[in-house]
Amino acid sequence: MKLYFSPGACSLSPHIVLLEAGLDFTTEQVDLRAKRTTGGADYKLVNPKGSVPALMLKDGEVLTEGPAIIQFLADLVPEKQLAPPAGSFERYRLAEWLNYIGTEVHKGFSPLFNRAATPEMRDMAISALTVRFGHLARSLEGRDYLMGQRFTVADAYLFTVLNWCGFSGIDMAPWPVLQAFQARVAARPAVQQALGDEGLLK
């Protein structure tokens, strides 16, 4: 398998999951502005949407969208318990979290990365994100991870998105539970390796 990624982007989540799963894979970096890979290929021929991540399978099939990719990877190694079994109620809880992170948190950062965003747009985005952070902090009270005491793919996704606070000037001090979560996930060997591979370790 080959993961197409951009350092620190939402493709960090499947990068972490691939390492947690112990799967054999390669990576290729994408210049998201030029839509070209480091190998010089037109990335839109891989993913017509032009965004990362994209996962190319051995048979040439390409899967896109982070939440879909990380669930696919989890299901390749059910013994790792990176996702609850398909069809179980807990699997729908996982889907609930992945949808919340994707639509309410991930997309909430978009104005902060938009050079055309006005100060008012940025303030509105940060205000909305603080409400979401409050919900996340309350949900993580008394538990190590979103689904309880076991790390799942949802935690890889949340870690990736919350990591953007540092790049967008959001101080996480008001949410010590989230700071503790970030530190807990960051300490995992697979996460350290993914961060190192993407040049994100300080």
102/171 same-domain check: yes
Share of the chain above pLDDT 70, in %: 100
Q: Indicate if 66 and 99 belong to the same structural domain.
A: no
User: Is residue 30 assigned to a domain?
Assistant: yes
Q: Residue 164's pLDDT is what? A: 97
When divided into structural domains, the chain yields a total of 2
Q: Return the amino acid letter for 94.
A: L
Identify the domain containing residue 125 by its residue range.
Answer: 89-188
Confidence of residue 122 (pLDDT cuts 50, 70, 90): very high
Give the DSSP H/E element, type plus range, for residue 143: none
Contact 84, 146 (CB under 8 A): no
Helix (H) or strand (E) holding 63: strand 62-64
pLDDT (tens digit, 9 = 90+) per residue, 10-31? Answer: 999 999 999 999 999 999 999 9
Q: What's the average model confidence in pLDDT over 152-162?
A: 98
In this structure, are 94 and 183 located in the same domain? yes
Q: Is 125 exposed, middle or buried (0-12, 13-18, 19+ CB in 10 A)?
A: buried
**How far is the C-alpha of 71 from the C-alpha of 143, rounded, in Å?**
22
pLDDT of residue 202: 73
Q: What is the pLDDT of residue 195?
A: 98
| Per-residue pLDDT tens digits for 40-93 | 999 999 999 999 999 999 999 999 999 999 999 999 999 999 999 999 999 999
CATH of residue 113: 1.20.1050.10
pLDDT at 70: 98
Across the chain, mean pLDDT equals: 97
| 103 and 124 assigned to the same domain | yes
pLDDT of residue 79: 98
Residue 202 lies in a domain: no
pLDDT at 12: 98
Domain assignment of residue 114, yes or no: yes
